[in-house]
Structure 1
Amino acid sequence: MSRLASRTALVTGAASGIGLAVATRFAREGARVVIADRDADAARTAVDRLSAELGEGTAYALTMDISSEPAVEAGYAELAEAGWTPDVVVANAGVQLFGQDAKIADLDLAVWQRTVDVNLTGTMLTVKHAVRAMLASGGGSIILTGSPTGLTGEGNDFTSYSTTKAGIHGLTRTVAAAYAKDGIRVNAVIPGYTETPLVTSISDDPEERAAIVGRIPLGRPGTPADVEGVMVFLASDDAAFATGALFRVDGGMTSL
């Protein structure tokens, strides 16, 4: 379990859910991990847990609002000063405004703007400053978190979320092509229906869950472990020839 030895990885939205699972797996694979999140207490708790399991110096807590460029720039500067400049960046942080996002005729502009600010602009800023850091250090791997709703029309009740995820898929390809010769690889992982505490708390209707799972060819929901394994691959040298790709981790759901 040392595929990421000698690497430093920044994971945004890493205090919970898929982000925390990925950061934990990275640390267990030998990486030093930056737990970046808006929730400072939750980030600190995650760092304490990883430090207790794997030793001091394993993780670093970074409070960062990705929707603010001054905050993102300051975050990367803090890491550089502390000796934690990342060579792997997972742009995972995002929002899905359940009960607010809607079909476009019913969509409030403020909901659209908030989703775009975090999911698309925030991801862009995370990637922008990751690229700047990697240009100075000689390259690295950037991984974005997409969604099947950015590929299909299935998320039509979530106009803002689905549109921003489609934008993330485009951003992945654009940045990958622009910086491949600089040794910077950029890929996206597209998790399907994945059971996290947030998802299960929002979608606790057994019939609704059964209907979703029934559309997954592998016959089960995804887990954070399914996603983290693909991200470890993309962060490692095993993926040295992979860039500009969208890796679907959805049990075959979007293959239908």
Structure 2
Amino acid sequence: MSPIPSFQKGNTALITGGASGIGLALATRLLSYGLRVVVADKDASSLYRLSLAPETEGLVPFEMDVGKLEDWARLKKKVEEEFDGKLNILALNAGRSLPTSFSNPDPANFYETMSTNLFGVINGITTLLPLIQSTSTSSSSPASIIITGSKQGITNPPSNPAYNASKSAVKTLAEHLSFDLSTTHPNISVHLLVPGWTFTGMTGNLHSEKKKEKEKEKPKGAWWPEQVIDYLEKKMGEGKFYVICPDNDVSEEMDKRRMLWAMGDVVEGRPPLTRWRGEDGWKERAEEGMKRLDI
């Protein structure tokens, strides 16, 4: 039994991008607590394997593209018909990271990234929020919305502008949603899950020999997806909105220093992304400056 009120037996959860990685770890955890779990994903083969796996017995697979409103309409109808419109947990976790660069004249990867990472969240909230609101009418039936962000949407490292921008926008949306619901629907908690370095390569294929091989390849610095869910539960139990996960290489303190330094670029009028700028000694100044920050 979980101490999180919305994680209780008999409740209904819906997870996008739940056929692998962190989404799958959350689905498995909720199933172990006795929840009814709908897993929505674009990967039909992974969904099929999950439907056959003993540890995911009771999981309801749903193939969809989170960037398409018509797919969300189908999903809403399924929840209404099969679960009486009850939805206690909505985890908007689907994401992708395609390479993007302004030197490439084809913006296709920008559109694809935004369609999944940003509009997958917007579509999910606008379509399913009425069901969550009607489910959480009293303190005895609380609900939770978990939105997966990224540290890249906060500290904004160079190399993939579309991914960083999409996750930055997701952070902003989650903050506004939390603020709005705090007064209109206080029984709905909102949480921004920001994983650290997480090893997810093997989780989409639960029973293959490849999984056993890949498990041995996990870098020492990375967390398992299950560790991310442990941390999520801990922070949700503390009533936290921001769930900024450390990993085996980066501590919570270091994350705070990096985030503070990034905001300092704006406040102090420095060039953007000074942590990575080689010119004028900015990179070295950033390293020294972060050490001196008051945490």
Do the two structures share a fold, i.e. TM-score over 0.5? yes
Matched letter for residue 101 of structure 1: T
Preserved CA contact (<8 Å) 1:195 1:222: yes
Question: Which residue in the other structure is 1:130 paired with?
Answer: 128
Q: How does 1:68-217 map to 2 (within 5 A)?
A: 68-83=68-83, 85-97=86-98, 100-102=99-101, 104-106=102-104, 108-138=106-136, 140-154=143-157, 156-181=158-183, 182=185, 183-197=187-201
Preserved CA contact (<8 Å) 1:63 1:75: no
1:65-92, CA deviations, whole angstroms, 9 ceiling, x for partnerless residues?
A: 1101111121111121012742101100
Report % sequence identity: 26
Preserved CA contact (<8 Å) 1:22 1:231: no
Over 3 Å counting, the alpha-carbon distance change for 1:107 and 1:24 in structure 2 is farther
Preserved CA contact (<8 Å) 2:197 2:221: no
Unaligned runs of 5+ in 2: 137-141, 204-216, 258-295
Q: Tell me the distance in 2 between the aligned counterparts of 1:15 and 1:54.
A: 11
1:42-62, CA deviations, whole angstroms, 9 ceiling, x for partnerless residues?
A: 21321321xx3365xx21111
Over 3 Å counting, the alpha-carbon distance change for 1:75 and 1:233 in structure 2 is farther
CA displacement at 1:93 relative to structure 2: 0.4
Over 3 Å counting, the alpha-carbon distance change for 1:128 and 1:105 in structure 2 is same
Question: Which residue in the other structure is 1:20 paired with?
Answer: 24
Q: Secondary structure at the match of 2:27?
A: helix
Q: How does 1:47-66 map to 2 (within 5 A)?
A: 47-49=51-53, 52-53=54-55, 55=57, 58-66=58-66
Over 3 Å counting, the alpha-carbon distance change for 1:38 and 1:234 in structure 2 is farther
Matched letter for residue 95 of structure 2: G
CA displacement at 1:2 relative to structure 2: 4.8
Preserved CA contact (<8 Å) 1:12 1:37: yes
Length-normalised TM-score, structure 2: 0.70
Over 3 Å counting, the alpha-carbon distance change for 1:91 and 1:124 in structure 2 is same
Q: Tell me the distance in 1 between the aligned counterparts of 2:106 and 2:160.
A: 12
Over 3 Å counting, the alpha-carbon distance change for 1:174 and 1:2 in structure 2 is closer
Q: How many residues align?
A: 228
Preserved CA contact (<8 Å) 1:6 1:31: yes
Over 3 Å counting, the alpha-carbon distance change for 1:30 and 1:230 in structure 2 is farther
Q: Tell me the distance in 2 between the aligned counterparts of 1:68 and 1:16.
A: 20
Bigger Rg over Cα: 2
Q: Tell me the distance in 2 between the aligned counterparts of 1:144 and 1:107.
A: 31
Over 3 Å counting, the alpha-carbon distance change for 1:6 and 1:171 in structure 2 is same
Q: Tell me the distance in 1 between the aligned counterparts of 2:41 and 2:88.
A: 18
Q: Tell me the distance in 2 between the aligned counterparts of 1:186 and 1:248.
A: 14
Write out the 4+ residue segments of structure 1 that deviate beyond 4 Å after TM superposition: none
Q: How does 1:230-245 map to 2 (within 5 A)?
A: 230-233=231-234, 238=237, 241-242=239-240, 245=241
Over 3 Å counting, the alpha-carbon distance change for 1:233 and 1:124 in structure 2 is farther
Q: Secondary structure at the match of 1:197?
A: coil
Q: Tell me the distance in 2 between the aligned counterparts of 1:93 and 1:178.
A: 23
Q: Tell me the distance in 1 between the aligned counterparts of 2:56 and 2:155.
A: 40
Matched letter for residue 44 of structure 1: Y
Q: Secondary structure at the match of 2:189?
A: strand
CA RMSD of aligned residues (A): 2.6
Length-normalised TM-score, structure 1: 0.80
CA displacement at 1:107 relative to structure 2: 6.5
Question: Which residue in the other structure is 1:36 paired with?
Answer: 40
Matched letter for residue 132 of structure 2: M
* Deviates most, 123-132 or 168-177: 123-132
Q: Secondary structure at the match of 2:155?
A: coil
CA displacement at 1:7 relative to structure 2: 1.7
